[in-house]
């Protein structure tokens, strides 16, 4: 007996002790425990398969731009207010093309929500509407037809997004479908002309979905018959976009026409010249172009170019109320939630999406109150300090 005891492998025994003995009680947090938008992401990640998660998370190329979108919020400080006001005095309501908004927050168009949650786009629309009638923009790559989504949340406002279709008849068909379903605002996405997702390719290598159909980076060589960008193995499908096309779409859209993906003051001026009613300053959440600037960095120069002529919406990287405050201070009239809203839906379904929107709304009110801003027009450049150059 003594021998056995003496020979007991002390170090081996120590190695067996669980460094976190309560680990087996680890669990996913419940909806009631969600404190910030960030809390939703791990729950969402646990709910869906890796390709579905990565489809929401990934960005173009090295994802430098995805990271920079977030970093840029650290490069702007909110100036301490001399006189904070009570939250009850804060009213951030506004009107955007006839739509009354209690908060300057919209749901950005993002594709295929049914893989996130069975209720998909309908669930998201119900959630957005339940969260103080938050306006939702439906993606052209929706997994639920617009005719089913639009009537699913009475009282809500649904706008629709689409990618340019070179065929004008096909474009007209899209417009008819959207406008007949009751989508007044039309968003045309003009960025992401030749994006490429390395992360999704890695997934393919791990046994995920193959996403390399057609000409891609994986394709080698080039047929002698190819011309232009295709010679360099770039998919030319979206390389035809022109401002003349925007002119043509302008004539088809009865309501407001918004151009999404504007990242340059010159493009902002051109958008106005070609009849856009508003622009969305967006780099597609880092999914459009690697090594592009963050949207927050370019916001001041675009706001200067637009000079109040049309409303500017902002997206890419919003996770907190303070982020929204900074975007508004640098000239945005409203912000769109893309990934964050998807986290909410994917984590807890419509209730999660609603809760996430409400968290950001509340955070924004808290920040505005602390900064002494009672209304939207009080949130301006004087309330922040810009540290980037």
Q: Which of residues 31-70 bind another protein (CB under 8 A)?
A: 36-39, 41, 61-62, 64, 68, 70
**Residue (147 or 304) nearer to another protein, CB:** 304
Q: State the nearest-atom distance from the C-beta of 23 to another protein, in Å.
A: 7
Q: Which of 44, 55, 73, 159 binds another protein (CB under 8 A)?
A: 73
**Residue (41 or 121) nearer to another protein, CB:** 41
Q: How many residues bind another protein (CB under 8 A)?
A: 85
Q: State the nearest-atom distance from the C-beta of 322 to another protein, in Å.
A: 8
Which positions from 199 through 218 interact with another protein, judged by CB under 8 A?
A: 201-202, 204-205, 217-218
Q: Residues for the chain: how many in total?
A: 389
**Residue (85 or 234) nearer to another protein, CB:** 234
Q: Which residues of 82-120 are buried (b: 16+ CB within 10 A; e: fewer)?
A: eeebeeeebebebebeeeebebbbbbbbbebbebbbebb
Check binding of 14 to another protein (CB under 8 A).
Answer: yes
Dihedral of CA atoms 121, 127, 129, 131 in degrees, nearest 10, equals: -150
Check binding of 75 to another protein (CB under 8 A).
Answer: yes
Distance CA 248, CA 192 (A): 21
Q: State the nearest-atom distance from the C-beta of 171 to another protein, in Å.
A: 15
Q: Which of 161, 283, 316, 354 binds another protein (CB under 8 A)?
A: 283
Contact 303, 354 (CB under 8 A): no
3-state secondary structure of 151: helix
The region of 97-105, 169-177, 179-187, 195-203 touching another protein under the rule CB under 8 A is: 195-203
Q: Which residues of 141-178 are buried (b: 16+ CB within 10 A; e: fewer)?
A: ebebebeebbebbeebbbbbbbbbeeeeeebeebbebb
Q: State the nearest-atom distance from the C-beta of 193 to another protein, in Å.
A: 5
Which positions from 313 through 342 interact with another protein, judged by CB under 8 A?
A: 319-320
Q: State the nearest-atom distance from the C-beta of 117 to another protein, in Å.
A: 22
The region of 85-93, 102-110, 132-140, 228-236 touching another protein under the rule CB under 8 A is: 228-236
**Residue (158 or 281) nearer to another protein, CB:** 281
Q: Which of 51, 59, 109, 292 binds another protein (CB under 8 A)?
A: 292
Residue 336 phi/psi, 5-degree rounding, is -115, 145
Distance CA 69, CA 293 (A): 8
User: CB neighbours (10 Å) of residue 33?
Assistant: 9
DSSP state of 316: S
Check binding of 224 to another protein (CB under 8 A).
Answer: no
Alpha helices, DSSP H only, in the chain? 2-6, 10-16, 40-47, 50-57, 64-74, 120-130, 146-149, 168-180, 198-205, 243-252, 265-273, 295-306, 321-329, 339-370
**Residue (25 or 82) nearer to another protein, CB:** 25
DSSP state of 91: B
Q: State the nearest-atom distance from the C-beta of 62 to another protein, in Å.
A: 7
User: CB neighbours (10 Å) of residue 24?
Assistant: 8
Q: Which of 100, 147, 232, 308 binds another protein (CB under 8 A)?
A: 232
The label of the residue with tokens 């920079």 reads 68
Q: State the nearest-atom distance from the C-beta of 41 to another protein, in Å.
A: 8
Which positions from 134 through 193 interact with another protein, judged by CB under 8 A?
A: 190-191, 193
**Residue (72 or 149) nearer to another protein, CB:** 72
Contact flags string 240-279 toward another protein, x per CB under 8 A: xxxx-xx------------x-xxxx-xx--x---------
């Amino acid at each position: 007996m003594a021998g056995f005891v003496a020979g007991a492998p002390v170090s081996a025994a120590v190695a067996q002790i669980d460094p976190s003995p309560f680990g087996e009680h680890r669990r996913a947090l419940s909806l009631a425990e969600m404190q910030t938008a960030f809390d939703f992401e791990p729950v969402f990640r646990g709910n869906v398969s890796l390709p579905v998660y990565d489809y929401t998370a990934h960005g173009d190329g090295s994802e430098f731009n995805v990271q920079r979108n977030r970093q840029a919020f650290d490069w702007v400080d909110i100036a301490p207010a001399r006189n904070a006001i009570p939250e009850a005095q804060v009213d951030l309501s506004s009107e955007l093309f006839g739509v009354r908004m209690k908060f300057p927050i919209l749901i950005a168009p993002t594709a295929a929500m049914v893989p996130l949650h069975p209720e998909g786009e309908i669930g998201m629309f119900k959630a957005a509407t339940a969260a103080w009638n938050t306006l939702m923009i439906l993606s052209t790559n929706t997994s639920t037809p617009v005719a089913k989504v639009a009537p699913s949340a009475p009282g809500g406002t649904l706008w629709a997004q689409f990618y340019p279709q070179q065929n004008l008849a096909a474009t007209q068909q899209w417009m008819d479908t959207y406008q007949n379903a009751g989508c007044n605002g039309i968003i045309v996405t003009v960025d992401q002309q030749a994006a490429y997702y390395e992360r999704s390719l890695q997934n393919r290598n791990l046994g995920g979905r193959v996403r390399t159909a057609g000409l891609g980076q994986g394709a080698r060589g080039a047929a002698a018959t190819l011309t232009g960008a295709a010679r360099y193995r770039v998919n030319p499908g979206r390389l035809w976009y022109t401002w003349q096309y925007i002119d043509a779409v302008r004539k088809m859209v009865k309501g407001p026409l918004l151009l999404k993906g504007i990242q340059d003051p010159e493009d902002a001026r051109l958008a106005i010249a070609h009849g856009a009613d508003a622009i969305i300053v967006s780099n597609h959440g880092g999914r459009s172009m690697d090594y592009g600037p963050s949207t927050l960095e370019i916001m001041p120069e675009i706001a200067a170019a637009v000079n109040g002529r049309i409303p500017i919406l902002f997206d890419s990287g919003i996770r907190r109320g303070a982020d929204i405050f900074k975007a508004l201070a640098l000239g945005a009239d409203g912000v769109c939630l893309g990934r964050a809203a998807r986290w909410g839906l994917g984590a807890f379904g419509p209730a999660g999406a609603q809760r996430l929107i409400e968290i950001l709304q509340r955070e924004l009110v808290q920040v505005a109150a602390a900064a002494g801003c009672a209304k939207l027009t009080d949130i301006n450049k004087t309330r922040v300090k810009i540290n980037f150059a």
